[in-house]
Structure 1
Amino acid sequence: MNTFIVAPSLQHTHTVIFLHGRDSHAKEFAEEFFESQASDDRFFQNIFPTFKWVFPSARPLMSAVFGTEMSQWFDMSSVEIPEERKELQLEGLKENVAVIKDIILFEASQFPTFSPNCIILGGISQGCATAILALLSSQIRICGFMGLSSWLPFSSEVEQLAGGAKQHSFSITDIESLYHLGHTSSSEAKTEIEKVKSTLHTPVFLSHCHYDEVVPITDGKKLCQSLKKIGMNVTWKEYGDGGHWINEPQGVDDMVEFMQNIIL
């Protein structure tokens, strides 16, 4: 997978892995992302000079709807209604969830000691949808997760697993099996429950703009509710304007505050 990497300007302390949306590319997205300004007129790179930024790029996949290849993490029939034709989503999800998990592990290994607690994962739109599944099936806790203008693929299945599980003691393997993203025997799954709990302790930041012309804010709210149901600590922010992007400057300020809090 091609990646666009921006090195830290000071001694490296954390790595952010951030996935672009559908019909975009890593470098294009990164350039726009780094133009977003906080209320003090600073940019992400200025605020976090010790961060390495890794932007993976989705490879072209055939679109069943448009009949041509396009840059996307997985195919789907409708961004507005992500529950439609789930069978289209499985192949791309299986491939790219595995790839993103490998990137997480690789980047965590680039520190003097293996340090997933120094990794922040995130994405926008379909990139976030892919990244959250990578986190849920990783069985490790990372520093934090940030999702913008997105949804949770197969959310009804996740809610089914979460229903009544007030102690959130089910295995992430259960979610994996629903997505057909992997297989672990029931005996192996029982021995991994502590890893599962650790993953669910990863702090999450989600934001969405009311007038998002691509992904309805109701999908973002459902993502938030689903993650809370499986026991995750979610910070939710919504904004009046900003479209299918980061609200400026308040949305940038909120992302900065979240990252500053989790790296303490």
Structure 2
Amino acid sequence: MAMEFPPPHIHAPQTTHTHTIILLHGRASDGPEFAEELFSSLTTKGTPLPDCLPSWRWVFPTSRDRWSALFQEEMCSWFDAYSLTNIDERQELQIEGLQESVSHILDLLENEIRLLDGKAGNVFLGGISQGMATALWTVFCAAERIPHQIGGLVGFCGWLPFANRLEELIAARSKEKEEDATSPTKTEIQRLVSNFCLATIDSAHAPPTIQENNSSDSGRAVPILTTPVLLGHGTDDVWVPVELGQQAFRVVQQVMWPVEWQEYTGAEGEGHWIKEPEGFDHILRFLKSRSIGG
């Protein structure tokens, strides 16, 4: 049996709880370490994000340890990513971890929505590096369990697992539509991507086909895939090439809306971090602009 996930690190709100954000760490990190690094970074005002959003609850889950085929050792990671120079190489290794981690994060999302009396729009999700990759897949797989738009999705210095396959599916759908002198709708793309991701991690779901969107529900938007998104990446990131972040943005832009993209240079960690303070100002503006009732 798979090991259980450790309990998340919680930074409680300083005032009455109005919002929650769940943030996922990168590979070989953990929730408390990510929280410490994030809260030591400042906005232009010279304050960390929690002080700017005193009614927010900050949830930092920790992945369980899993075997890395590349490094030949156990490490704390949401899934096993073999290569970021060729993302198709041994990509099947990602499936088990994505299956476990997506289910875990969906449990956390459902719990935080309950704590806020069902106000899904007051709950946000995000992550950095592999945490961003996991957050994106969580939202893509959430249609059945969370039939609501959430407040927002933020991701930095990350990528999208199976991005090449998703781009191929979207291109094939577009070519199919061209024969009828039409274009696929946003909702068709949403269901195509959602069904592909669910089928990849859950054998109970059939893989998508070109014909599936002729069904009566193809015109209905997937509520959680109407969630606003903010993505960013350092152009000098030595760990995750910015091209992978750009590819994730291209796919997400076809699935969700609105989607913001930010590039920057000179961040700490050899570019594999959020630019301080500009990047944190951008996050703060995004979270405040999407907040409901506080």
Q: Bin the TM-score by the shorter chain.
A: over 0.9
1:209 to 220, 226, 234: 234
**What are structure 2's unaligned runs of at least 5 residues?**
175-182
Tell me which moved more, 141-150 or 170-179: 170-179
- Match of 1:18, SS state, is strand
How far apart, CA to CA, are the structure 2 residues paired with 1:72 and 1:218? 22
Q: Whole-Å Cα distance in 2 between the matches of residues 102 and 129 of structure 1?
A: 17
SS at match of 1:53: strand
Of 144, 153, 158, the match for 1:150: 158
Q: CA RMSD in A?
A: 2.1
Give 1:228 deviation, angstroms. 1.1
More deviation, 53-62/133-142: 133-142
Structure 1, unaligned runs of 5 or more: none
2: CA distance, partners of 1:78 / 1:254: 30
- Give yes or no for the alignment of 1:20 onto 2:25: yes
Aligned AA (1:257): R
- The residue identity in structure 2 corresponding to 1:261 is S
Q: Does residue 1:176 correspond to 2:197, yes or no?
A: yes
Select 1:251's aligned residue among 279, 287, 292: 279
Kindly indicate whether residue 114 of structure 2 is the aligned counterpart of residue 109 of structure 1. yes
1:37-116 correspondence to structure 2 within 5 Å: 37-111=42-116, 113-116=117-120
Find runs of 4+ consecutive structure 1 residues off by over 4 angstroms: 184-187, 189-196
Pair 13,230 (structure 1): closer, same or farther in 2 beyond 3 Å = same
In 2, Cα distance between equivalents of 1:75 and 1:26? 18
Q: Cα gap change, 1:65/1:9 in structure 2, threshold over 3 Å: closer, same or farther?
A: same
When residues 114 and 195 of structure 1 are mapped into structure 2, their CA distance, relative to the original with a 3 A threshold, is farther
TM-score normalised by structure 1 residue count: 0.92
Q: Structure 1 residues 214, 241: closer, same or farther in 2, change over 3 A?
A: same
Q: Deviations over 1:43-90 (max 9, x none)?
A: 111100000000000111011112110111001212343332111111
Shift of 1:257: 0.7
Whether the 8 Å contact between 1:176 and 1:183 is mirrored in structure 2 is: no
CA distance in 1, matches of 2:203, 2:141: 9
Greater mean alpha carbon deviation, residues 166-175 or residues 213-222: 166-175
Identity of aligned residues (%): 34
> Partner of 1:101: helix, strand, or coil?
helix
> What is the CA distance between 1:195 and its match in structure 2?
7.1
Q: Is the 8 A contact 1:90 1:180 kept in 2?
A: yes
Q: Number of paired residues? A: 262
Taking a change above 3 Å as real, the CA distance of residues 16 and 177 of structure 1, as seen in their structure-2 partners, is closer
Distance across 1 between alignment mates of 2:113 and 2:187: 26
Return the offset for 1:180: 2.7
The counterpart of 1:167, out of the listed 177, 185, 191, is 185
Aligned match of 1:237: 262
**Which amino acid is the alignment partner of residue 72 of structure 1?**
S
Q: Cα distance, 1:190 vs. partner? A: 5.4
- Displacement of 1:196 in angstroms is 4.7
Deviations, residues 68-119 of structure 1 (Å, cap 9, x unaligned)? 10111001212343332111111101111111111111110112x2121111
Distance 1:24 1:82 in 2: 21
Question: Contact 1:173/1:184 (CA < 8 Å) preserved in 2?
Answer: no
Contact persistence 1:205–1:235 (CA under 8 A): yes
Does the CA contact (< 8 Å) of 1:162 and 1:230 recur in 2? no
Partner residue of 2:130 out of 118, 121, 126: 126
